[in-house]
Amino acid sequence: MSHLVGLDPGRAKCGLVLVDPDQRLVLDGVVLPPSRVISQLKTWSNQGELRLILLGNGTSSEQWNPALQRLASVEIVEERGTTLRARDRYWQLWPAKGWRQMLPRGLRLPPGELDAVAALVMVEDHLGHQCQWPQSRPAFKSVPAP
């Protein structure tokens, strides 16, 4: 089984998502400091083949390319607008409950980091379809650097 990875790189934190493209299924999603990204990718690689890493072309993407190519093929993809689209995608995946559902969608703020969902948006753009995220809503809190 081969997997796709979406990586939304940043200076302080990066969003990563692991997707099984054949099942259209998100297997994992995390927000990590840059220093922990490669070790997370190696962990995922040990669980199954990484066929492709989709790297957002924003902040610091050039410095990531050489290290990532040692793990899998890398394709640099457009990430402009993914953060805003990630907010909308978040509410599609995990609909608002309680008083939040009364707010207009544009005023709802997700209760955590959106970097992993932005990475998912890049993967979905690449695949041409949406994926299911079967787990309950992740906390998506940034993990501090060691």
**What are the sequence ranges of the domains in the chain?**
2-127
If you average pLDDT over every residue of the chain, what do you get? 90
Q: Tell me how crowded residue 144 is: count the other CB atoms within 10 A of its CB.
A: 9
Q: How many CB atoms lie within 10 A of CB 124?
A: 20
Q: Which of the four pLDDT bands, split at 50, 70 and 90, describes residue 120?
A: very high
On whether the CB atoms of residues 17 and 5 are closer than 8 A, the answer is: yes
* pLDDT score for 61: 83
For residue 83, the Cα-to-chain-centroid distance in whole angstroms is 11
Out of 1.10.540.10, 3.40.50.980, 3.30.420.140, 1.10.3720.10, select the CATH number for domain 2-127. 3.30.420.140
Give the pTM.
0.90
If one compares 98 and 19, the residue with the highest pLDDT of the two is 19
Q: What residue spans of the chain are helical by DSSP H?
A: 37-47, 61-69, 82-93, 115-127
Across the range 37-64, mean pLDDT stands at 93
Q: What does the pLDDT average to over 85-104?
A: 90
Among residues 35, 141, 134, 17, the alpha carbon closest in space to that of 79 is found at: 17
Statement: residue 76 has pLDDT above 60: yes
The mean per-residue pLDDT over the stretch 92-96 comes to 91
